[in-house]
């Protein structure tokens, strides 16, 4: 799990999303899980847990992409400490976070993806990024 915005946003992988003790130790209040292939995690009742079953490539329903982006954006706008996680923590997580930050700050998704990618490992699937950009353009 890596902190992207101090005390507000972390990106993680499937293992991070299952490590309830580590999530609680970071004082994370919301987990957004983006991997269709990962099983849901049981968190204590006071943790917000949202699961959006996204593929790491093409074929994602636009409604799910838009809802995931909007959810992350809203949690960030409300200053809710959040973990955005997918299977490897290198494609869906940074891509959805970049789109959400772009929406929150009214800036380009590419700017935010570049900034997030500069801070750690990444491997965003081009087909997924194209779908996300298409959703952002229509919003």
| Structural domain boundaries in the chain | 2-138
pTM: 0.95
Q: Which one is the CATH code of 2-138: 3.40.50.1460, 3.90.226.10, 2.70.98.50, 3.90.190.10? A: 3.90.190.10
Give the model confidence (pLDDT) of 122-134 as tens digits.
999 999 999 999 9
pLDDT in tens, 95-126: 999 999 999 999 999 999 999 999 888 999 99
pLDDT at 121: 87
Q: Is the pLDDT of residue 86 over 90?
A: yes
* Cα separation, 36 vs 29, whole angstroms: 22
- The model's pLDDT over 14-58, given as tens digits with 9 standing for 90+, comes to 999 999 999 999 999 999 999 999 999 999 999 999 999 999 999
């Amino acid at each position: 799990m890596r902190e992207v915005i101090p005390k507000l946003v972390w990106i993680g992988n499937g293992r991070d999303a299952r490590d309830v003790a580590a999530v609680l130790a970071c004082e994370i209040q919301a987990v957004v899980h983006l991997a269709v292939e990962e099983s849901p995690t049981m968190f204590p009742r006071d943790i917000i847990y949202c699961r959006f079953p996204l593929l790491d490539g093409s074929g994602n329903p636009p409604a799910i992409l838009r809802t995931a982006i909007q959810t992350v954006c809203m949690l960030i706008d409300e200053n809710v400490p959040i973990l955005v996680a997918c299977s490897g923590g290198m494609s869906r997580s940074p891509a959805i976070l970049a789109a959400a930050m772009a929406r929150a700050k009214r800036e380009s998704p590419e700017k935010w993806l570049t900034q997030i990618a500069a801070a750690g490992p990444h491997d965003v699937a081009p087909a997924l990024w194209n779908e996300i950009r298409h959703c952002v353009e229509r919003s």
